[in-house]
Structure 1
Amino acid sequence: MSAPLLSLRGVSAYYGSVAALRGVDLDVNAGEIVTLIGANGAGKSTLMMTVFGAPRARSGTISFAGEDITGLPTHAIARLGLAQSPEGRRVFPRMSVLENLQMGAALHGGRYFAQDLDKVCTLFPRLKERLSQRAGTMSGGEQQMLAIGRALMSRPRLLMLDEPSLGLAPLVVKQIFGAISALNREEGMTIFLVEQNAYHALKLAHRGSVLVNGRITLSGPARALLDDPSIKAAYLEGGHAPAAPAGAGV
């Protein structure tokens, strides 16, 4: 069996003296969708940001394509082929949609810009209609499409999506998750998905892990997690997962 594309071993991270991640082990294999689910404050976004070096892992190792990236600066990690669509979208609001996409393509000097722009506009036709519009004037769903499109413009080997459904209407969530599925199914894109909407995430993913208070408490095939009574009670049937202590990650 080939080595995972992304691998975390014993990764811990802190905000000051507060532990946000506690000895996390996690693998993402090439060509699969892996989701990380958990309650708000469990440390999901912190884990994704730690992969990108901010915050730094205080212990453990993070490797990508067999290379140890634990101590690399964020820009060097991005150049290896990781791209992130962050929580809250964080588009450049005063720049146009086209300019935002150009920022994503800057990693390769814009060499593939026309080709990749066509791909993004095919995936998200709404963006094609709004190329000249300021990003900050678009709806939340359109901004989420733009954030994902901007990440795709860097031609990543691994696409990391942090809460892509957050604050969006159900119809838009369906469109976003449909696009994520198409990227994996049609292009073989490897995707690491952090998501609070456990049902949608596990329906989409091949494998999943549950993060509670900075620790992975359960991992396995996504279908098995969907059928797990403890997952159903905590995340799928209106129950509440164990709450994280104050400051234990976002």
Structure 2
Amino acid sequence: MIGNGQSTRDASAPLLSIRGVETYYGKIVALRGVDIDVNPGEIVTLIGANGAGKSTLMMTICGDPQARNGTITYDGVDITRMATHEIIRRKIAQSPEGRRIFPRMSVLENLQMGAITADLDHFDEDLERVFALFPVLKSRQSQRGGTLSGGEQQMLAIARALMGRPRLLLLDEPSLGLAPLIVKQIFEVIGELNRNEGLTVFLVEQNAYHALKLAHRGYVMVNGAITMSGTGKELLAREEVRAAYLEGGRH
């Protein structure tokens, strides 16, 4: 890292590189030597059963908790020991598991919170961008976030993350608890952002079928360790993936 904090990343290097990361909760090992790369312009997904450590990895990338061992490099800079607010300022945005919107704030106020790290000169433009992606939010601008449906809250959580103009969007279980039609809509928006804007996306998801169909590449996590990797198509075709995560291959 150069003294003024600018990136030293090689243009061909991953935007996000995770090497040998181990994370603990007290004495309990949550992540076991995790290696993952996310290249610029990719959608990369991490699948695994509930409790496998997927959300812990997302939180570790954002610095809470911090990795005890290993390194996390973003845009050529080691962010392993950085505070969360410093990481977010580097244009990494997260839509966390469980949405975690501000329930007493209006939709518009939630979106304003997401724009804190962005150039406010573009606020109106960015607002119209997320309203075009999620039209229902435009009609609910003054409505409190906590009164939205689960699907609408998920849309708001993603839109709030996008208001920060991220280069890397971290999505943690965006389909959790949602109706199939809403899930389809959300995954279509993720694909559109990647195709039309080149947005890099790291997606943690229990819905392996939708995630692997969408992703350029994927990883499988079991008990805090990466056990498989490949293109989305390759992993969809793997018999052990289909048996464990695709209801015995019925999709």
TM category (shorter chain) comes to over 0.9
User: Any conservation in 2 of the 1:102–1:110 contact (CA below 8 Å)?
Assistant: no
Match of 1:140 among 150, 166, 169: 150
Quick one: which amino acid aligns to residue 201 of structure 2? I
Q: Secondary structure at the match of 1:108?
A: coil
Cross-structure match for 1:153:
163
Q: Aligned-pair distance for 1:237?
A: 2.2
Quick one: which amino acid aligns to residue 213 of structure 1? N
User: Any conservation in 2 of the 1:12–1:58 contact (CA below 8 Å)?
Assistant: yes
1:60 corresponds to 2:74:
no
**Deviation digits for residues 130-163 of structure 1 (CA, Å, limit 9, x no counterpart):** 0010000000000000000000000000000000
Cross-structure match for 1:236:
246
Q: Secondary structure at the match of 2:34?
A: strand
Match of 1:24 among 12, 29, 34: 34
For structure 2, which runs of at least 5 residues remain unmatched after alignment? 1-10
Q: Secondary structure at the match of 1:111?
A: helix
Q: Secondary structure at the match of 1:112?
A: helix
1:98 corresponds to 2:94:
no
Q: Secondary structure at the match of 2:126?
A: helix
Quick one: which amino acid aligns to residue 83 of structure 1? A
Mapped partners of 1:128, 1:237: distance in 2: 37
Q: Aligned-pair distance for 1:109?
A: 5.3
Mapped partners of 1:216, 1:6: distance in 2: 16
For structure 1, which runs of at least 5 residues remain unmatched after alignment? 240-250
Quick one: which amino acid aligns to residue 190 of structure 1? T
Mapped partners of 2:118, 2:61: distance in 1: 21
**RMSD across aligned positions (CA):** 1.0
Q: Aligned-pair distance for 1:37?
A: 0.0
1:189 corresponds to 2:215:
no
Structure number with greater CO (CA < 8 Å, separation at least 6) is 1
Q: Aligned-pair distance for 1:107?
A: 1.1
Cross-structure match for 1:74:
84
Mapped partners of 2:241, 2:22: distance in 1: 24
Q: Aligned-pair distance for 1:106?
A: 1.0
Q: Secondary structure at the match of 1:14?
A: strand
Q: Secondary structure at the match of 2:116?
A: helix
Q: Aligned-pair distance for 1:111?
A: 2.5
Cross-structure match for 1:217:
227
Q: Aligned-pair distance for 1:112?
A: 1.4
Q: Aligned-pair distance for 1:195?
A: 0.1
Mapped partners of 1:225, 1:181: distance in 2: 19
Mapped partners of 2:19, 2:126: distance in 1: 34
**Deviation digits for residues 4-45 of structure 1 (CA, Å, limit 9, x no counterpart):** 000000000000100000000000000010000000000000
1:131 corresponds to 2:118:
no
1:39 corresponds to 2:49:
yes
- Number of aligned residue pairs: 239
Q: Share of identical aligned residues, percent?
A: 71
1:10 corresponds to 2:49:
no
User: Any conservation in 2 of the 1:199–1:236 contact (CA below 8 Å)?
Assistant: yes
Quick one: which amino acid aligns to residue 175 of structure 1? Q
Mapped partners of 1:236, 1:5: distance in 2: 30
Cross-structure match for 1:108:
118
TM-score (norm 2): 0.94
Q: Aligned-pair distance for 1:201?
A: 0.2
Quick one: which amino acid aligns to residue 171 of structure 1? L
TM-score (norm 1): 0.94
Cross-structure match for 1:169:
179
Mapped partners of 1:151, 1:62: distance in 2: 21
Quick one: which amino acid aligns to residue 186 of structure 1? N
Mapped partners of 2:220, 2:207: distance in 1: 12
